Amino acid sequence: MSSELPVTDRTKLRRKPQRGSHDRAAVDAILDEALICHVGFVTERGPFVIPTMHARIGDQLYLHGAVGNHMLRALAGGIEVSVAVTLLDALVLARTAFHHSMNYRSVVMFGRATEVTEPETKLAALDALVERVGAGRSRACRPPNAKELHATSVLALPIVEASAKVRSGPPLADEGEDAQLPYWAGVIPLVTTRGAPVNAPDCLVDGRHMFDRAQ
């Protein structure tokens, strides 16, 4: 069942609010399809925006990395963080420069992350992160051992303050004389697909058949 996230001063959509929503199902769908996010935070060294992978389980967005990771250590200290997630769907070309745009589905989140120390939750989050790379993959590789778990930090960011925004369709209609201009107008779809698997040079099994392109 879908629910609405509360609109805060930070998540109030200002420009083109009709393209936005605070619907949890819309937010979740974008988080679950996107393979990377960008994490914004400020430390005494200034502002940072760091790209990284993420995984969602229920109401939590999980990030992970080496225990020495600057971003994770800063976030674990309880500072405010903003996460942006973008799926790019198309380039939008209009007759006028002004109406050029992009079709996208995006999420902006705010909050404070906490370090996951409970072993079961940490393992579940790490499994979910591996599943992003390939469905079923967490059961088709050796799970992390104690040393690897010790060397890995996992953070959970609750999905409580977030918005989604979507642009789709053709360019905004050029009007008047502009509509008569002899320039092409339309949409060029962009698609990210999984290509054919390539065995690692030292791979002992040919498992290429195990991967279908639909993953």
Ligand X SMILES: Cc1cc2nc3c(=O)[nH]c(=O)nc-3n(C[C@H](O)[C@H](O)[C@H](O)COP(=O)(O)OP(=O)(O)OC[C@H]3O[C@@H](n4cnc5c(N)ncnc54)[C@H](O)[C@@H]3O)c2cc1C
Shortest distance (Å) from residue 12 CB to ligand X: 6
Name the residue nearer to ligand X (CB basis): 126 or 157: 157
Shortest distance (Å) from residue 74 CB to ligand X: 20
Name the residue nearer to ligand X (CB basis): 50 or 88: 88
Distance CA 143, CA 150 (A): 13
Total H helices, total E strands in the chain: 4, 11
Phi, psi of 34 (to 5 degrees): -70, 140
Tokens of 39: 């994490």
Name the residue nearer to ligand X (CB basis): 14 or 45: 14
Would you tell me how many other CB atoms lie within 10 Å of the CB of residue 107? 23
Shortest distance (Å) from residue 10 CB to ligand X: 5
Q: Which parts of this chain interact with ligand X (CB under 6 A)?
A: 10-11, 13-15, 20, 86, 88, 102, 104, 106-108, 163-165
Task: Tell which residue, 123, 107, 124, has the closest CA to residue 36.
Answer: 107
Cα 150 from chain centroid?
26
Name the residue nearer to ligand X (CB basis): 55 or 107: 107
Shortest distance (Å) from residue 163 CB to ligand X: 4
